Structure 1
Amino acid sequence: MILYIFSGLLGLMALTIPVGIVLFLLGFGIDQFFTPFPLIRGLGQFVWSSSNSSTLIAIPFFVLLGEVLVRGGVAAKTYAALDRWLSWLPGGLIHANIGTATLFSATSGSSVATAATVATVAMPQAEKLGYDPRLFSGAIAAGGTLGIMIPPSINLIVYGFLTETSIPQLFVAGLIPGLMLAVGFSMMTVLICMVRPELGGESRRYPFPEMLGVLVHLIPIFLLFAAIVGSIYRGWATPTEAAAVGVGMAFVIAAFSGGVNWPMLKESLYGTMRITAMIMLVVLGAAFLNFTLSSAGLGRELRAFMEGLGFTPFMTLMVIVLIYIVLGFFIETLSLMVITIPIMVPIVVGLGYDPIWFGILMIVLVEMALITPPVGLNLYVVQGARRGGNLSEVMVGAIPYAVLMLLMAFLLIAVPDLALWLPKNL
């Protein structure tokens, strides 16, 4: 059955069939060949019951929140403010890229949207100031990956939905690792630019009164983040309710920035519908595949197979990490998560590992997939925002940051409390 799943997955995706449809087709195949009764007869009821979830309603709200902030002109002002505070470091403007990506990760919930936002604003500055295109674009692609780690994260919502894990706990668990990655990206940039100063462009300093003056553009983003995550964790609001409040606050912020008008509203709603439809098709396909896999007894087969290998829990975990690294080269991030969650999570939990901790570890591993060729979406998003140049430049520039993510994954394995300390103590 395992051979059927992965050969069928790779074969159908090679035909450029949308991932959501591939998942349904795999589920139909399992139903046909591996289950004793036709599950397809209940497909309509299953799809309705799976999609009729208050948890999933949070997804379009968070997507709309990010669309409003991006199209409302908030991104440009945030970027300019961080430029004045961070460009004195070795690497100059690259740190503003990482800082902007970190802040927008705390509002948009999407890595691709975060990378696209920062790339659109930053690329003209890189060309004007003469930065090395490899390092500059690679840092943007890496910074964008924080969108699925720092809460609120659409991918963590999907993980919580499919594994029945507490979404507030997942949000809080991702905060420390996400901030550590952001700081790590900046430290990696400093190290590279100290060794090769010509790659980082010119460091710039601004008068302190000017630096204080631009802080007003950062306050709304911090308030928005505090309102969303704080209300969820304190139990004042569900993720869906907090997302709805966040959308209202985003419109207010965009209005004060002078960015609310009919074209902006139309583009935000269109973008939200397009992204949400894609996400929901993948999630429902994954839920159906999960249902058929459980009915066919795959979980029992895998546990028996792993026990037969005689591996220790740690060795099994290392095999799973290696599987994610390899699959990340070929499968898009959300698809990689929803395909593997029904297979991997029962094994990991059966070994005695915490599902919240494994959710954060999985996010770090699939973040790597966003900046590793040939399917790393953030690489293509950043390349699309450039004026000329080769995609290979973005790929080369992202390599140091991908290595840093791998080190972060091993650090999480060595010190699980990096993800679990906040959920246990808040």
Structure 2
Amino acid sequence: MLLGALYFGGLVLFLMAGIHVASAIFMTAVVSDWMSMQVLPSMIGNTMWSTMNEFLLVAIPLFILLGEILTRSGVADRMYKALAAWLQWLPGGLLHTNIATCALFAATSGSSVATSATVGTVALPTLQRLGYRERLVLGSIAAGGTLGILIPPSINMVVYGALAEVSVGKLFAAGIVPGIIVLLLMMAVIVIMALLGKVAPDNEKLIIPLAMRLKLLIDVLPVVFIFGLVMGGIYLGIATPTEAAALGVVGAIAIAAANRTLSVAMLHAAFLSALRTTAMVVLVVTTAFVLNFSLSLAGIPQALSEYIGQLGWSPTATIWVLVAFYLILGCFLEAIAMMVTTVGVVVPLIVSLGFDPLWFGIFMTMMMELALITPPVGLNLFVAQNIRLSRGGISDVYIGVLPFAFAMMVFVTLLIYFPQIALWLPNRLF
């Protein structure tokens, strides 16, 4: 346990010193190896090489590229208008469209930051012009974007599946029902806020004929097509997650061509952005594999399991301790860093307590969602702040996102006491 405390303390120290996440993880692994005297430098190199040659991880750049192409294809703008025609009658008006568009875009992008940025760029100018309460608008964009890593396909689930050796296809299936429930909880928050006080202008609702609304649904079909192409390929057994991601990229290019937004310049920008993001994610994941390998040889996961067992805590109490741990950690670490630095230690612990690692993958994804909207380093908070048109402090985003964070904590509670919320669908499909 002393070595485990030194490992975590060293990692936090490196991160607080401003060292890049991947470098901090690698340095922690090297120090851990040196202290345990069990890992040779050649073993570190072999671990990194085998990780980078892992076929499953090829899905990461493909899903990132899929989201980048769709972001530039004009799909989000058309989809937003179509959903607005159907949802504007609800209390809260177009705020529901923010959440619903984020959910649908999440079904193709796999990235929370990309979802918030894309939908926010489309929605924010319109909502501010119509006179919606700005704090709630910003909060809905930041919180809605977190659905990007819960609703499949999800880059974070691919990373978790690789680190925890859990089926990515099952993880994708496990995220569908929770994604729908979180979507409904966020929309319920908007309804409650609208009933408690004025959040939307009284005269912004338009009467749109049913025929027109049905016609607008055509603009939602591209996202449904991509989702069906990717997820259908996986669940029908005709494609691995990596192959399904490649199919999704081809489909996204076809959609961009149909929308007449496909060009060499657009593809160049999409590939360049995907390359930058991929380099960061894969480097972090590779060093995380090295760290997990080092910790396993040092016996830290086993020691932690024994220590928790000696404390006499119930399994549920241990999970609530992890909730508090991840909430605190989310204040200092990015979501992906929070996951890769803890999976190697925490997953063996929860397995020893009798929890399903598939369920824990969804639990960890929810905690990462909360990290994305937790100050001071929540990335989605900064995305919402950066795309706003008016001047104002980021505290507006903090306040606006609070009701949605509460709704997400409600779901975490439901997930802890009713694990079948996440496990029912994968158990039926696999």
TM-score, normalised to structure 1, is 0.97
Q: CA deviation at 1:45?
A: 1.9
- Tell me, in whole angstroms, the C-alpha distance in 2 between the residues paired with 1:425 and 1:140: 33
For residues 243 and 167 of structure 1, what CA distance do their matches in structure 2 show? 12
2:139 counterpart letter in structure 1: G
In structure 2, the residue matched to 1:416 is 419
1:166 correspondence with 2:133: no
TM alignment of 1:296-375, pairs within 5 A = 296-375=298-377
Task: Write the distance in 2 (CA, Å) between the matches of 1:65 and 1:389.
Answer: 33
Q: CA deviation at 1:114?
A: 0.5
Q: How many residue pairs are counted as aligned between the two chains?
A: 424
Q: 1:87 maps to which residue?
A: 88
Match status 1:220 vs 2:190: no
Secondary structure at 1:150 match in 2: coil
CA distance in 2, matches of 1:2, 1:37: 15
In 2, distance between residues paired with 1:210 and 1:397? 33
1:246 paired with 2:248, answer: yes
CA contact (8 A) 2:75 2:222 kept: no
| Match of residue 200 from structure 1 | 200
Q: How many angstroms apart in 2 are the aligned matches of 1:14 and 1:299?
A: 24
Q: 1:9-408 maps to which residues of 2 (within 5 A)?
A: 9-33=11-35, 35-197=36-198, 199-202=199-202, 203-205=204-206, 206-387=208-389, 388-408=391-411
What amino acid does structure 2 have at the position aligned with 1:319? V
Distance 1:339 1:278 in 2: 15
Write out the 4+ residue segments of structure 1 that deviate beyond 6 Å after TM superposition: none
Contact map agreement 1:39 1:292 (CA 8 A) in 2 = no
Paired residue secondary structure (2:86): helix
Which digits, 9 at most, give the CA deviation of each residue in 1:129-148, with x for residues without a partner? 11111000100100000011
**Structure 1: 5+ residue runs without aligned partners?**
none
Offset from partner CA, 1:30-75 (integer Å, 9 cap, x none): 0111x22343232222211011011000011100111001111111
**Range that drifts further, 6-15 or 185-194:** 6-15
Between 112-121 and 203-212, the greater mean CA deviation after superposition: 203-212
CA distance in 1, matches of 2:195, 2:388: 26
Query: 1:8 matched to which residue of 2?
Result: 10
Residues 328-381 of structure 1: CA deviation (Å, up to 9, x unaligned): 111110000111101111000011111101111111111111111011110001
Unaligned runs of 5+ in 2: none
Read off the aligned partner of 2:394 and give its amino acid letter: L
3-state DSSP of counterpart to 1:152 = coil
Q: Distance in 1 between matches of 2:427 and 2:40?
A: 40
User: Contact between 2:38 and 2:298, CA under 8 Å: does it hold in 1?
Assistant: no
Q: Deviations along 1:193-239, whole A, 9 cap, x unmatched?
A: 11112x23345132222212211110121121012112112211000
| Percent of paired sites with the same residue | 45
Q: Matches of 1:184 and 1:304 in 2, distance apart?
A: 38
Amino acid paired to 1:108: S
RMSD of aligned Cα (Å): 1.1
2: distance between equivalents of 1:302 and 1:93? 48
Deviation at 1:316, TM superposition (A): 1.6
Is contact 1:365-1:405 (8 Å) kept?
no
Report if the CA contact (8 A) 1:169-1:233 is conserved: no
Residues 302 and 187 (structure 1), Cα distance of their counterparts in 2 relative to 1, 3 Å cut: same
